[in-house]
Amino acid sequence: MKRIKYIFLVSIFALTFANAQSTSDTNFRKPVSETLKKIETVFNVTINDDRGLLKGKELDYADWRIEPGNLAVSLTNILAPFELMYFKQPDGTYIIRKYENHKVSVDKGKERLFYLESLYSTKEQWEKRKTELKACMITSFGLEKAPPMPKSKPLLTPKRIYKDYSVENIALEILPGVYATGSIYKPYPLNKKAAVILTPDGHFGDGRYRKDEQYRCAIMAKMGAIVVAYDLFAWGESLLQFPEETHRNSIASTVQVLTGIRFLDYLATVKNADMSRVGVTGGSGGGSHTMFLAAIDDRVKVSAPVVMVSSHFSGGCPCESGRGVHLCGNGTNNAEISAMMAPKPQLIVSDGKDWTLAVPELEFPFIQRTYELYGKKDLVENAHFAKEGHDFGVSKRMALYPFMAKYLNLDLNIVKNDKGEIDESTCVIEPKEKLFVFGDKGENLPKNALKDINKLYEMFGEKNLKVYEVKK
């Protein structure tokens, strides 16, 4: 009993001593974790440092940084000196994370949308902002500095013919010595004008070789569209030119946007390609580039960004957010960039287990508001899958097909079975080797193929300043 009392007294003494040291003599310095515990009490919240980011961190004037009545300011005051930030979870708790320029809390995303709404309330005001955003995005990506597309003919492999569609692989020289690689799916036989659909690849495993991408390209080709799926920069066959680490160079985002633009330039020369019916759809990073292309290139008439539209997340890869396009207009986000598609048809696909979880309540109403300025509210739709995660799975594809058929005048019935269901089983899933354009070992890579990232930057009048980690 005496021992218990002794421990208790020692603990009280230690706590009193610690508090006594929190004076001007020590700049009221305290462990950050202690101040956050006080914030928990003051605001009746729970704060989790589940990654141990606060361990050993102390701060001058720590408790003085608590702003009574304002939890957000208090947390920012405490965490910002350490380049840390907070995120409010769906259960109301708060977690601590390292600062990331491309990611904020849902609450802050909501605040940003309220701010953006205050900037325009008429179609004329929005059109002015949209023009400013578009010009800034083009400049940020550096597209106006891009050299002209070489006049070389695209490299095409022999066609593989399947039921109602064909596939051939393509390498398009979009810059001197820089080849964009992909596959073209066409209706077969192709004897009339066909819509055009681009599908920029995302960061899913196996790139454009994976099953879900082959399924959606084949189905949309069967429905009557010329569909082009293309690799990310320094991904897939692009790795024959640029190593994997260069995918995280900011110039990757420029090349990927330019790839979409120049594939449209090429398709405009293809017999039976109807450039009055152009769509674009991609998931994840491909969803980012779906939005970018739709915002920048007026030839896009229908868009369907998948699992990417968010007011609080702008893409964790520099190939999406590396050029600072989200700084345009004194600050924008993917929800507003998505809204730049208005008043043309757009399907926003979201789910409940990634950064698109709040789309039905948050981003979609914001985007609808922009469409309402044109009296076209019904031309934007949201397919939300609350129990699903970050993918381009079958349910998401089943939402995509009718939308594309409706607005690109495609034949949905041709892909339905006797039960009236869209049937993907009629599509042939090819091994990735069949989707190569440069051969199994890259033996057909053109001799002029550029392999120097520094020279790629120089084409745009820039210098590569990225420092790479040395691999051991």
Is residue 131 situated within a structural domain?
yes
* 163 in the same domain as 60: no
pLDDT for the residue 89: 80
Residue 104: the pLDDT is: 85
Residues 167, 243 within the same domain: yes
What backbone torsions phi and psi does residue 225 show, to the nearest 5 degrees? Answer: -120, 145
* Gyration radius of the chain's alpha carbons: 26
CATH number at residue 30: 3.55.50
405 and 309 in a common domain? yes
CATH value at residue 383? 3.40.50.1820
Is the Cα torsion angle 401, 402, 403, 404 positive or negative in sign? positive
Q: Are residues 311 and 405 in the same domain?
A: yes
Q: Which of 378, 301, 309, 377 is closest to 341 using CA atoms?
A: 301
Could you tell me if residue 14 is inside a domain?
no
If asked whether residues 66 and 145 sit together in one domain, one would say: no
Beta strands, E only, 358-405: 380-385
Same domain, 31 and 168: no
Task: Give the integer Cα–Cα distance in Å for 362 and 39.
Answer: 28
Q: Write 431-435 long-range contacts (CB < 8 A, 24+).
A: 432/206, 432/209, 434/160, 435/167, 435/169, 435/183, 435/208, 435/209
Residue 38 included in any domain: yes
Helix axes 106-117, 363-372, angle to 10 degrees: 10
Whether 93 and 131 share a structural domain: no
- Across the range 169-192, mean pLDDT stands at 97
Say whether the peptide bond before residue 189 is cis (omega within 30 degrees of 0). Answer: yes
Over residues 392-410, the mean pLDDT reads: 98
Domain of residue 302 covers: 127-460
Q: Is residue 168 part of a domain?
A: yes
Helix (H/G/I), strand (E/B), else coil: 108 = helix
Task: Confirm whether 416 is domain-assigned.
Answer: yes
3-state per-residue secondary structure call for 410-461 = CCCHHHECCCCCECHHHCCCCCHHHHCCCCCCCCCCCCCCCCCHHHHHHHCC
Q: Please tell me the predicted confidence (pLDDT) of residue 469.
A: 53
The pLDDT value recorded for residue 7 is: 41
Residue 7 lies in a domain: no
Residue 72 binned pLDDT confidence (cut-offs 50, 70, 90): confident
Residue 281 backbone phi and psi in degrees, to 5: -150, 140
Say yes or no to pLDDT of 205 above 90.
no
Same domain, 93 and 214: no
Are 163 and 219 in contact, with CB atoms under 8 Å apart?
Answer: no
**pLDDT band at residue 13 under the 50/70/90 scheme:** very low
Tokens of 174: 């979009």
> Cis ω on the peptide bond leading into residue 187 (within 30° of 0)?
no
- Residues 149, 179: contact at Cβ < 8 Å? no
Q: How confident is the model at residue 207 (pLDDT cuts 50, 70, 90)?
A: confident
Residue 87 has pLDDT above 70, yes or no: yes
Average pLDDT, integer, range 402-421: 97
**Percent of the chain residues past pLDDT 90, beyond the cut:** 81
> 210 and 251 share a domain?
yes
The verdict on 370 and 417 lying in the same domain is yes
With a cut of 80, say whether residue 84 has pLDDT above it. yes
Question: How distant is the alpha carbon of residue 359 from its chain centre?
Answer: 14
Whether residue 136 sits in one domain with residue 90: no
Residue 340: name the closest of 388, 383, 384, 374 by CA. 374
For the cut 50, the answer to whether the pLDDT of residue 16 exceeds it is no
E strand or H helix at 267: helix 251-267
The pLDDT assigned to 20 comes to 44
pLDDT of 21 reads 57
d(CA 438, CA 451) in angstroms, rounded, equals: 15
> Beta-carbon neighbour count of residue 426 at 10 Å?
15
356 Cβ partners below 8 Å, 6+ apart? Answer: 307, 308, 309, 310, 349, 350, 363, 384
**pLDDT bracket for residue 85 (50, 70, 90):** confident
In a domain, 313, yes or no: yes
Predicted confidence band at 377 (pLDDT cuts at 50, 70, 90)? very high
Question: How many structural domains comprise the chain?
Answer: 2
Across residues 54-63, what is the average pLDDT?
92
What pLDDT does residue 99 have?
80
Assigned domain for 105 exists: no
How far apart, in whole angstroms, are the C-alpha atoms of residue 241 and residue 453? 9
The pLDDT mean for the chain works out to 92
Do 93 and 161 share a domain, yes or no?
no
Query: How are beta strands 346-351 and 380-385 bridged, if at all?
Result: parallel
Q: Work out the burial of residue 406: count CB atoms within 10 Å of its CB; fewer than 13 is exposed, 13-18 middle, 19 or more buried.
A: middle
pLDDT for 132: 98
Q: What is the mean pLDDT of residues 388-397?
A: 96
d(CA 96, CA 80): 11
Q: Are 180 and 367 in contact (CB under 8 A)?
A: no
